[in-house]
Structure 1
Amino acid sequence: MSVDTDIASTIKFRDICDLFEKLKATKKVVNKEEVLKSYYESFCRHRDSFRRQTGLSDDQTENGVSSFYSVLRLLLPGADTGRDSYGLQITALGRLYIKVLQLPGDSSDAIMLQHRTGNMYRDYGDVVYAVLKPRCFNPPSDLRLKHIHEMLDTIANEDTEVKTQQLIRFTEQASPEEQKWLIRLLLKSLGLGIGEQKIFGVLHPKAQDIYQRCSDLGHVCNLLADMNTDLDASTSDSKPEVKFVNLNAVIRPFHQIRPMLCERFPGDIQELMQSDVLYLETKMDGERFQLHIDGGRFMYISRNGVDYTRNFGNSYERGTLTPKLRGLLPLGLQSIILDGEMMVWDTKRLRFREKGENTDVKSLKPEGSWQPCFVIYDLLYFNGQSLLDLTYIQRAYKLQKLVVEQPGVLQLMRGRKIGSVEEFNQLFQQALDSHAEGIVLKKQGSRYQPGVRLGGGWFKDKADYIKGLITEFDVLIIGGFYNRKCTFVESFLLGVLQPAPPGSSNRHEVFSIGVVTNNTKQRGVLNHTLKPHWHNVVKEPPPLWFHYKAKERSGCPDLWIEPHNSIILQVKAADLSPNAAFYTRKSLHFARTETKRDDKSWNECMTLREFNDLCEGSMGIKKLNKRQLRLEDVTTKRKLQRMTPSERSRLGLAVYEKRCEVDPAASSSKLLDGLSFCILSGSAGRQNKLQLQELAAKNGGCIVENPLPNDPKCFCIAGDETFLVKRLKLQEPRTCDIVRMEWLLRVCQKQELELRPKDLLAATEPLRQDLAECFDRLGDSYNKDIATVGDLQELLQEIELAPEDLADSSTSEVNALEDQLLDGKKSLNMFRHLHAYFYDPHGDELGKVLFLQNGGKLAKESDPQLNLGFLCMSSDLDDNHFKHWLKNHSKLSADKVLNSAWIHQSHREGVLLPMQGFV
Structure 2
Amino acid sequence: MAEDIKMPDADAVKEQKIMYGDDKELDSKYPNRPSNLHKSLPFHTLFTELFNPLLDSVKKNRPQAARRKAGPSGQSHLSPHEARRNIIERYIAKWRKEVGNDFYPAMRLIIPEKDRDRAMYGLKEKAIAKVLIKVLKISKDSDDAKMMVNWKLPGQLNKASSSTAGDFAGRCFEVLSKRAERTNPSDLSIGTVNSNLDELSRVSGEDQQLNIFKWFYRRMNPEELTWLIRIILRQMKIGATERTIFDIWHPDAETLFNVSSNLRRVCWELYDPKLRLGGEDTGITLMQCFQPQLAAFQNKVGSFEKMVVKLKTTPEDDSFWIEEKLDGERMQLHMIENPDVPGGKLFGFWSRKAKDYAYLYGKHFEGVESGALTRFIKDAFHPNVRNIILDGEMITWDMETDHIVGFGTLKTAALSEKENFTNSNTGQRPLFRVFDCLYFNDTLLTPYTLRDRRKALQGAVKGVPRRLEIHPFIEAHSYTEIEPELRKVVADASEGLVLKNPRSMYRLNDRNDDWVKVKPEYMSEFGESLDCVIVGGYFGSGHRGGAHSSFLCGLLVDKKAQPGDPEYQKCFSFFKVGGGFSRDDYAAVRGRTEGKWTDWNPKHPPSIIELGGHTENRQHERPDQWIHPSDSVVVECKAATVESSDKFRINLTLRFPRFKQLRTDKKWDQALSISEFMELKDNVEREHDEKEKEFKIEQSRRKKARTTKKALVVAGNETVATPYAGPKSQLFDGLSFFIMTDQLHPAKHSKAQLEALVKANGGKIVQRDSTDKSLVIVADKRLVKVSSIEKRDTMNIVKPIWIHDCIQQAEADVGALPFVLPFEPNRHMFYLLGADQLDFEANVDDNGDSYSRDIADVDELRGILTSMPSKYETVFEKELFLGQLEDHGESLANLKNCMFSQLKVGFSSAMSGDKNWDLRARLAMNYIRFGGGVVLDEDESGATHFVVPDGENRGVRNGAVSGLARIVGVGWIEKCWEEGTRVDEERFQWG
TM-score (norm 2): 0.57
Say if 2:360 is the partner of 1:311: yes
- Name which of 605, 614, 625 aligns with 1:559: 625
* C-alpha deviation, 1:394, in angstroms: 1.6
Does the Cα contact within 8 Å between 1:535 and 1:561 map onto a contact in 2? yes
For the Cα contact (< 8 Å) 1:329–1:403, is it kept in 2?
yes
What is residue 378 of structure 1 aligned with on the other side? Answer: 436
2:546 to 463, 477, 487: 487
Partner of 2:333: 291
Q: What is aligned with 2:289?
A: 255
* Matched residue, 2:260: 214
Counterpart check, 1:339 vs 2:391: yes
- Contact 1:342–1:361 under 8 Å retained in 2: no
**Distance apart, 1:415 and its partner CA:** 2.2
Question: Given that residues 9 and 147 in structure 1 are in contact (C-alpha distance below 8 angstroms), is that contact kept between their aligned partners in structure 2?
Answer: no
Residue matched to 2:609: 546
Query: 3-state SS of the aligned residue for 1:225?
Result: coil
State the distance in 2 between where 1:543 and 1:49 align: 62
2:468 & 2:269 partners in 1: Cα distance?
Answer: 36
Aligned to 1:416: 474
Asked whether 1:190 is paired with 2:236, we answer yes
Instruction: Tell me if 1:516 matches 2:577.
Output: yes
Q: Percent identity?
A: 24
Pairwise CA distance, 1:459: 1.8
Distance 1:136 1:294, change over 3 A: same
In structure 2, relative to structure 1, the CA distance for the partners of 1:272 and 1:588 (3 Å cut) is closer
Aligned to 1:90: 125
Give the C-alpha shift of residue 309 in structure 1. 2.1
Name the structure 1 match of 2:176.
132
Matched, 1:77 2:137: no
Q: In 2, Cα distance between the equivalents of 1:651 and 1:524?
A: 26
Which whole-Å deviations, capped at 9, do the CAs of 1:753-789 have from their partners, x for residues lacking one?
xxxxxxxxxxxxxxxxxxxxxxxxxxxxxxxxxxxxx
Q: Distance in 2 between matches of 1:371 and 1:618?
A: 30
Distance 2:586 2:675 in 1: 32
* 1:759 counterpart residue number: none
* Equivalent residue runs for 1:666-745 within 5 Å: none
8 Å Cα contact 1:209/1:247 also seen in 2:
no
1:143 aligns with 2:201: no
Q: 2:332–2:349: 8 Å Cα contact kept in structure 1? A: yes
**Which residue is 1:398 aligned to?**
456
Shift of the alpha carbon at 1:187? 1.8
- Note the C-alpha offset of 1:543: 5.3
Q: Structure 1 residues 177-186 or 358-367, which shifts more?
A: 358-367
- After the TM superposition, which parts of structure 1 deviate over 6 Å for at least 4 consecutive aligned residues? 356-359, 466-471, 502-505, 617-620, 622-625, 632-640, 647-652
Give deviations 1:656-706, integer Å, cap 9, x for gaps: 899xxxxxxxxxxxxxxxxxxxxxxxxxxxxxxxxxxxxxxxxxxxxxx99
Could you say what secondary structure the match of 2:679 adopts? helix
1:364 aligned counterpart, secondary structure: helix
Check the 8 A contact 2:291/2:352 in 1, yes or no: no
For residue 39 of structure 2, give the secondary structure of its aligned residue in structure 1: helix
1:689 match:
none
Q: Which residue of 2 aligns with 1:12?
A: 42
Q: Is the 8 A contact 1:489 1:527 kept in 2?
A: no
Does structure 2 conserve the Cα–Cα contact (< 8 Å) formed by 1:480 and 1:492? Answer: yes
Change (3 A) 1:528 1:49: closer
Aligned counterparts of 1:21 and 1:422: Cα–Cα separation in 2: 53
> Is the partner of 1:603 in helix, strand or coil?
helix
Which residue is equivalent to 2:597? 534
Picking from 460, 473, 482, the partner of 2:517 is: 460
- Summarize the Cα distance change of 1:361–1:597 in structure 2 as closer, same or farther, 3 Å threshold: farther
Q: Is the 8 A contact 1:313 1:320 kept in 2?
A: yes
Spell out, residue by residue over 1:313-345, the C-alpha distance to the aligned partner (whole angstroms, 9 max, x if none).
Answer: 121122111111112124354443211111222
Residue in structure 1 matched with residue 942 of structure 2 by the alignment: none
Unaligned stretches of 5+ in structure 2?
Answer: 1-6, 17-34, 62-78, 155-160, 314-318, 338-344, 421-425, 690-783, 794-830, 838-879, 892-899, 909-920, 925-945, 955-967, 972-991
- How far apart are residue 145 of structure 1 and its match? 1.7
CA distance in 2, matches of 1:271, 1:397: 28
Contact (CA 8 Å) 1:378, 1:396: kept in 2 or not?
Answer: yes
The whole-number CA distance in structure 2 between the counterparts of 1:526 and 1:451 is 42
Three-state SS of the structure 2 residue aligned to 1:463 is: coil
CA RMSD of aligned residues (A): 4.0
Kindly state the Cα deviation for residue 177 of structure 1 after the two structures are TM-superposed: 2.8
2: CA distance, partners of 1:466 / 1:349: 25
2:393–2:434: 8 Å Cα contact kept in structure 1? yes
Contact 1:534 1:560 in 2 (8 A): yes
Structure 2 partner of 1:325: 377
Stretch deviating more after TM superposition (103-112 or 302-311): 103-112
| Maintained 8 Å contact 1:282/1:438 | yes
Instruction: Report the Cα offset of residue 304 of structure 1.
Output: 3.1
In the superposition, relative to structure 1, how do residues 474 and 360 fare at CA in structure 2: closer, same or farther (>3 Å)?
Answer: farther
Structure 1: gaps spanning 5 or more residues:
52-65, 233-244, 659-704, 709-919
Task: Quote how far apart the aligned CAs of 1:418 are.
Answer: 0.8
Alignment check: 8 A CA contact 2:328 2:393 kept:
yes
Render the CA deviation track for 1:291-323: whole Å, top value 9, x for unaligned: 223443222222333222222112112211111
Instruction: Check the 8 A contact 1:577/1:586 in 2, yes or no.
Output: yes
Q: 1:521 to 1:446 in 2, by over 3 A?
A: farther
Query: Of residues 657, 671, 676 in structure 2, which corresponds to 1:591?
Result: 657
Three-state SS of the structure 2 residue aligned to 1:569 is strand
Return the letter of the residue paired with 1:278.
F
1:22 aligned residue: 53
Distance 1:130 1:653 in 2: 48
Q: Select which of 620, 642, 666 maps to 1:576.
A: 642
Q: Does the C-alpha gap of structure 1 residues 14 and 355 become closer, same or farther in structure 2, counting only changes over 3 Å?
A: closer
- Aligned counterparts of 2:46 and 2:541: Cα–Cα separation in 1: 28
Whole-Å separation in 1 of the counterparts to 2:623 and 2:649: 13
Cα gap change, 1:169 to 1:602, in 2 (>3 Å) = same
Q: How far did 1:457 drift? A: 1.6
Give the alignment's TM-score, normalised by structure 1: 0.61
Partner of 1:170: 216
Using the alignment, how far apart are the partners of 1:125 and 1:560 within structure 2? 27
User: Do the aligned partners of 2:578 and 2:658 also contact (CA within 8 Å) in 1?
Assistant: yes
What corresponds to 1:447 in structure 2?
505
- Bigger Rg over Cα: 1
How far apart, CA to CA, are the structure 2 residues paired with 1:148 and 1:575?
48
Cα deviations by residue, 1:688-726 (Å, 9 ceiling, x for unpaired): xxxxxxxxxxxxxxxxx99x9xxxxxxxxxxxxxxxxxx
